[in-house]
Amino acid sequence: MVDNILLISEHYAPKVGGTVTYVNKVARHLANSKRKVYLMVPGVYNEKKTTIDEIDENLKILSVSVAASSKLEFTNKERDGFCAYIKNHVNEVIDQYDIDIVHLLYGLFVADVINTDALRAKGVKVFHTIHNIPPEECSLSWRGDNWIYQLKDKLRKIGVKAINKKRITNNAFDKYIVPSINVKQLLAEYINSNDIVVIDHGVDPKEFKQTRHTKEQKGKIEIVTVGGFVPHKNQHLVPRLARYLADNGIEFQWTLAGPVRNKRYFKFVENQVLKFGVNSHIEIKNHINDPDLKKLYQDSDLYIHLSSEEGFCMTVLDAICNGVPVISTAVGAIPQMMEKINGTLIDLNLKSTKKVLVHYCKILPELKFENQEHNEFVEAYSWDRSIDKLLNTYNG
């Protein structure tokens, strides 16, 4: 029986970066299961210190001050400072809180420096969640970009792959947690597949009380695509698709929502909107808070996902849980999600994708979920199920 758990993430709020939602949900749900949970994260303070925030009797957040810049993401120096702290002080934390389990929730850099053999010698089990295998989701360039940038990025990603193979294999963990079969297949190039466990990310069913998507479609079709503006999300294809929809008489408004992760790529997307003359059909929201994002899902008629790389894909999960019909590429855990709802998978062949989108825009009323289908889907992806599987992995 696991009692005391140390969770570590090298990304955390208020700085942007990494799957912070996953980190928070796992920590809070483990604490709700009556385990003592200690979450160690980089903190943002003006002075060097470690603070302890007691969230409740079972959850404490240990914030290690490393942030000296005002940038939205942790810099290399800040991240290295956090890694150094873990390397030098993790044994003290383990002894202080009588830790049974150490689990890196987000931490390829931490995985490179933490001494898992030493932890095992103390009787501590060690686990590592790997959300995707770099260079997946690491592109800085895209098809259609200047060829020099494309070549530089191709060469850069060769180095990224080699460096991250070292980070992944430098220390051995008892088990590796991945969010999809796709990531397991990639990780199995480096790690024995018997040591890799697939555990889905989740949702809280109470957040989706509606039994199905009940919005009555009136006038324009509201299309939504959510995700940070980075090349692998392929938002630059939306203007081409929007032009085709408009030319085929479809009345629609397409909203692209997400933060700007790559300014050069974001500018390219904006230029494509102007190039294809669809600025009246496309709205870009690169600053959106959680309540507004929730409303965006609820008000939409169709969710379209064009990404070429995903580890899991929370946006598709959120769309389905909000009862929105989804058309998506087959990446991450999306094929398994779509199988449960008889959803539509596409490739990135624009000629065929254009025709698919026109067809589904015309038959939208037929795409709504049945009550039972929707409820079963939400329950299948509940955080409670994910945490039960995680606890079984800890105890295995």
Nearest to 320 by CA among 333, 339, 303: 303
> Are 164 and 153 part of one and the same domain?
yes
> Are 165 and 210 part of one and the same domain?
no
Nearest to 378 by CA among 209, 156, 142, 144: 209
> Are 54 and 111 part of one and the same domain?
yes
> Are 308 and 263 part of one and the same domain?
yes
> Are 222 and 302 part of one and the same domain?
yes
**C-alpha distances out from residue 71 to 68, 165, 191, 365, Å:** 9, 28, 35, 45
**pLDDT of 121 strictly over 80:** yes
> Are 187 and 246 part of one and the same domain?
no
* pTM as predicted: 0.92
**pLDDT of 308 strictly over 90:** yes
> Are 322 and 219 part of one and the same domain?
yes
The pLDDT of 87-97, averaged and rounded, is 95
> Are 367 and 236 part of one and the same domain?
yes
**pLDDT of 253 strictly over 90:** yes
The pLDDT of 76-92, averaged and rounded, is 93
Angle at 267 between CA 265 and CA 272, to 5 degrees: 95
> Are 144 and 224 part of one and the same domain?
no
Nearest to 138 by CA among 153, 150, 125: 153
d(CA 208, CA 153): 41
Lowest-confidence segment of 52-56, 174-178, 247-251, 314-318 by average pLDDT? 52-56
Enclosing domain of residue 217: 205-380
Express each pLDDT in 190-217 by its tens digit: 999 999 999 999 999 888 865 445 555 5
The pLDDT of 57-68, averaged and rounded, is 90
Express each pLDDT in 14-36 by its tens digit: 887 667 889 999 999 999 999 99
For position 175, which CATH number holds? 3.40.50.2000
> Are 242 and 387 part of one and the same domain?
no
Confidence (pLDDT) at 44: 80
> Are 281 and 239 part of one and the same domain?
yes
**pLDDT of 1 strictly over 90:** no
d(CA 307, CA 325): 17
> Are 371 and 387 part of one and the same domain?
no
Confidence (pLDDT) at 218: 62
Other CB atoms within a 10 A radius of the CB of residue 192 amount to 10
Q: What's the domain count of the chain? A: 2
The pLDDT of 253-276, averaged and rounded, is 96
Q: Return mean pLDDT, the chain.
A: 92
Express each pLDDT in 369-386 by its tens digit: 777 888 889 999 999 999
Contacts of 289 (CB under 8 A, 6+ apart): none
Confidence (pLDDT) at 75: 87
Contacts of 268 (CB under 8 A, 6+ apart): 142, 144, 145, 236
In the block, which residue shows the tokens 């409740």? 56
The pLDDT of 300-320, averaged and rounded, is 95
